[in-house]
Structure 1
Amino acid sequence: MSVVIKAENISKQYRLGMVGTGTIKDDLKRWYYNVRGKEDPFLKIGDANDRSSKGDSDYVWSLRDINFEINQGDSVGIIGRNGAGKSTLLKILSQVTQPTTGKIYTKGRIASLLEVGTGFHPEMTGRENIFLNGAILGMRKHEIIRKFDEIVDFSGVERYIDTPVKRYSSGMYVRLAFAVAAHLESEILIVDEVLAVGDAEFQKKCLGKMSDVSKGEGRTVLFVSHNIGAVNTLTNKCMYLRNGNLIEYDTTDKIIPIYLNDDLNNIRGLKEFDNTPNLNENKPIQLTKCRFSIANDIVEVEVEYVVRKSVGSVVALQIINAKEVSIITLIDTDRDSDIFKRSEGSYMVKFTLPLSILAPDIFKITLSFSDMKSERFDYHRDILVFEKNNTDANLTRDGIIFSDPKLIGETKKLYLGN
């Protein structure tokens, strides 16, 4: 097959420093504090790109010496932890930004969905933005008209198609943006993990469409995601980026185990997840802390959360294995259905299960707070990771679990709300 994307020694460097405050008064205040030798009263940008250490340089390399080739019809997943350089690479491939060094060669038209709102004019209607994006790709008006009904039907925003997109919700924005990118006639489709904004049904629909685009239509797809299950299902090749470096580029079935092992090693010692720096007063219910321990063959997870508004909600703990298969889902209302309607205040629930029921594997813990229907109040994926070794296993039985786990413990209120 012919090569449609080729990267030669791609590197991207950003200069860091102080950001203007927006007003002369505040800039003068910053200058005055600096002259007096006091701490800057305004925020600064940090200079570490791996979120694990602090540096003292004025520059940071988002990407370093990246080399690869992508063939026509390939579906390529790009994985890595936050700050690895995934989005920067997609922006370079989409020609949104230029590399500091190196060259990119592309063959064919590129449709990109990098972040919510990219490529849309907020004052224009959905209809007008569809035609605008088609024109940018070099399509003629009659070609766009031929695709128009299919785009609108896929996005599900027919009722609002003649409304300015600035009035769309983030979910509507993403649905229309993905429909435009996937249905207009480009040879290369680039999708960053903006699909997290949409609901679960639409995410599934999008993954199906990307599969059709790659396998059915022979177009090239690049897909950034933290959902390893989706990457495993959708892609035939995969890139693993870490701290701006391309660690491996090979078939997906070879890359994912490497990434999962590295991911486990990075957070193997993490026994507590603290969400207090990220609290959002607008959320009716939100996770504050999660603690994990294994003792005497028992896995124990304590979840603390705050309820700001009395809502019907459940706390669900999901354990997922390395292949992104959901092994167990524990729900706090299984033991006490009366706590579904929670009053304002702070709560703690303890989930426990025997380690012996799990087959040897790497497991990740995900927490969600929802009404069990359509609304998800808070969600934290893969916040803690643990491993069950072969030496601990009951190898006389096959399968991914060895018995029926039960939720042990009960929810108790820590203190009353205002």
Structure 2
Amino acid sequence: MKDIILKAENISKQYRLGQVGTGTLSHDLNRWWHKIRGKENPYLKIGDTNDRSTKGTSDYVWALQDINFEVERGEVLGIIGKNGAGKSTLLKILSKVTAPTTGGIKSRGRIASLLEVGTGFNGEMTGRENIFLNGAILGMTKKEITSKLDEIIEFSGCERYIDTPVKRYSSGMTVRLAFAVAAFLEPEILVVDEVLAVGDAEFQKKAIGKMQDISKGEGRTVLFVSHNMAAVKSLCTKGIVLEHGKVIFEGNVEEAVNKYFDDEKQFAQKEWNIESSPKTNFLRLLNAKVLNENDELELNHSITNFITIQFTYEILEEGNTFTHGFNLFNNENIHILSSHDKKSLTLEQAPAKGIYSKKIIIPGNLLAEGTYSCSFAIMRYNPFVVEFHEMDIVGFNVIDEFGGDTARGNYNGNFPGIVRPILNWK
């Protein structure tokens, strides 16, 4: 039998755009008039989907719409999605910081939240006083808090400043203390947003380890939001993917991460017909594919695995010498690399009519985590002429791994750069 500790039922959250946050007096009166007549809120019928990149037609927007899921005791739920997908709004509702417009949540036990730096802290009070304040808010007695006090201070690494007002803490110190308080005061449900990214590498490693202990060793539940897919994969047992305020996937965390990357709308395969194919007078491109280490079509690839890009073309006319060009771009359209096939054909090697394939192998532990697209060109040398250069033919995603034989190792924080090779240190 399932031991459900948190349940979200038809949660929706609507906001009014513009300088007025919740509505005008006329709107409030209209809501009240509908309510006393036993009718539905009239503004629930209007409102645009929360897509920040498009201009809407309504003053109202749905930050969340019809969210349903259940979390069992001891589960670690990863909530992932692009910026503006509704992750933080959902966590605020689950933490009871704000109320949903429709629907509701059912929970059993105390909920501790870490949604932004210094959540629930009073800047004028010392770190020690804030520990007691937060514990009291969670419903703990002074005796219970005192029994955990030394562990909290030691874990936070802020012992020297524990009797200093929090307003004098750096953001990193504040988040260290806030996480220690939230983790050690034993809530049944711990809600953690991307705030951990503020901490340094050492603290992030400690925080991830503590969350694993909380869920696996102590049987408590964690809701975790992060853009760091390596941390999500290493920590979470289940994932949900949000897009424009709606749940588009719920299930296994590996599948959730794959779904998150799938929505970059890259394609691992492309075929052309005779009319649309990129071509020159002697050659036309038939298809392009992205293959994994087993020569299978694959969109999402582990950072440690090599990736094969295969181009297939047809020679329409004999006696032509040419070479191939390949370019790789990331999702910010930065040109990562170019490669030419150095084995330019001599006239004696000019291919006969028929179907041919060329493969490019990108080694593992070269590219950083992210989304990539490829272009393909046919060129002649002496003189140099580009016969055609087709952009955005196929794409793929590189997914980072936590631990193991990667440049990341056991580091959970932001890892900048457009390439991520493992370099030799001596």
TM-score category (smaller protein): 0.5 to 0.7
Q: Match for residue 242 of structure 1?
A: 243
Structure 2 residue aligned with 1:51: 52
How much does 1:386 deviate? 3.4
1:143 and 2:147 are equivalent in the alignment: no
- Matches for 1:14-53 after TM superposition, within 5 Å: 14-18=15-19, 49-53=50-54
1:386 counterpart letter in structure 2: S
**Alpha-carbon distance, 1:52 to partner:** 2.0
> Which residue number corresponds to residue 337 of structure 1?
none
For 2:55 and 2:372, locate their aligned partners in 1 and report how far apart those are by CA, in whole Å: 24
How far is the alpha carbon of 1:8 from its aligned partner?
A: 0.9
Deviations 1:13-57 (A, max 9, x none): 01111269xxxxxxxxxxxxxxxxxxxxxxxxxx87323212131
Contact 2:76 2:221 in 1 (8 A): yes
CA contact (8 A) 2:49 2:244 kept: no
Paired with 2:135 and 2:86, the residues of 1 have a C-alpha distance of: 29
Q: Which is worse superposed, 187-196 or 351-360?
A: 351-360
Distance 1:144 1:96 in 2: 23
Report the alpha carbon displacement of residue 263 of structure 1 after superposing the two structures with TM: 2.6
Cα-to-partner distance string for 1:311-366 (whole Å, 9 max, x where unaligned): xxxxxxxxxx95664789xxxxxxxxxxxxxxxxxxxx9864659341599x9757
1:293 matched residue in structure 2: none
How many angstroms apart in 1 are the aligned matches of 2:97 and 2:395?
50
* Residue pair 2:175, 2:199 contacting (<8 A) in 1 also: yes
Q: Relative to 1, partners in 2 of residues 1:265 and 1:390: Cα closer, same or farther, differing over 3 Å?
A: closer
Superposed, 1:122-137 pairs within 5 Å as: 122-137=123-138
**Structure 2: how far apart are the matches of 1:101 and 1:391?**
39
Q: Secondary structure at the match of 1:103?
A: strand
SS in 2 for 1:212: helix
With over 3 angstroms needed to count, the CA separation of the structure-2 counterparts of 1:156 and 1:67, relative to structure 1, is same
Matched, 1:8 2:9: yes
Q: Distance in 1 between matches of 2:244 and 2:225?
A: 15
Pair 1:358-2:362 in alignment:
yes
Pairing 1:385–2:372 present:
yes
- Distance, in Å, in 2 between the alignment partners of 1:114 and 1:16 is 23
Q: Does 1:229 align with 2:233?
A: no
The one-letter code matched in structure 1 to 2:12 is S
Give 5+ residue unaligned stretches, structure 2. Answer: 22-47, 270-298, 307-333, 340-358, 376-392, 397-404, 407-418, 422-426
**Contact 1:7 1:105 (C-alpha < 8 Å) held by counterparts:** yes
The alignment of Structure 1 onto Structure 2 pairs a total of residues equal to 282
Equivalent-residue separation in structure 2 for 1:101 and 1:406 (angstroms): 45
Identity score, percent: 60
- Change in Cα spacing, 1:359 to 1:127, as seen in structure 2 (3 Å) is same
Letter in 2 for 1:170: S
In structure 2, the CA distance between the partners of 1:406 and 1:256, relative to structure 1 (3 Å rule), is closer
Counterparts in 2 of 1:92 and 1:172: CA distance versus 1, 3 Å: same
Indicate if the aligned counterparts of 1:264 and 1:385 stay in contact, CA closer than 8 A: no
Equivalence for 2:180 = 179
Higher helix content, 1 or 2:
1
CA contact (8 A) 1:144 1:184 kept: yes
The one-letter amino acid paired with 2:240 is M
Checking the alignment, whether the CA contact within 8 Å between 2:166 and 2:174 is kept in structure 1 is yes
Structure 2 counterpart SS, 1:11: strand
Larger radius of gyration: 2
Secondary structure of the residue aligned to 2:263 is helix
CA contact (8 A) 2:233 2:253 kept: yes
Against the structure 1 CA distance between its residues 364 and 112, is the aligned structure 2 distance closer, same or farther, given a 3 Å change threshold?
A: farther
Gaps of at least 5 residues in structure 1 are: 21-46, 269-320, 329-348, 367-381, 393-398, 408-418
| CA distance in structure 2 between the aligned counterparts of 1:174 and 1:12, rounded to whole angstroms | 28
Distance 1:70 1:64 in 2: 19
Task: Report the TM-score when normalising by structure 2.
Answer: 0.60
Q: Secondary structure at the match of 2:117?
A: coil
Distance 1:171 1:192 in 2: 15
1:385 counterpart letter in structure 2: Y
1:190, distance to aligned residue in structure 2 (A): 0.4
Distance 1:264 1:327, change over 3 A: farther
For residues 352 and 390 of structure 1, the distance between their equivalents in structure 2, rounded to whole angstroms, comes to 15
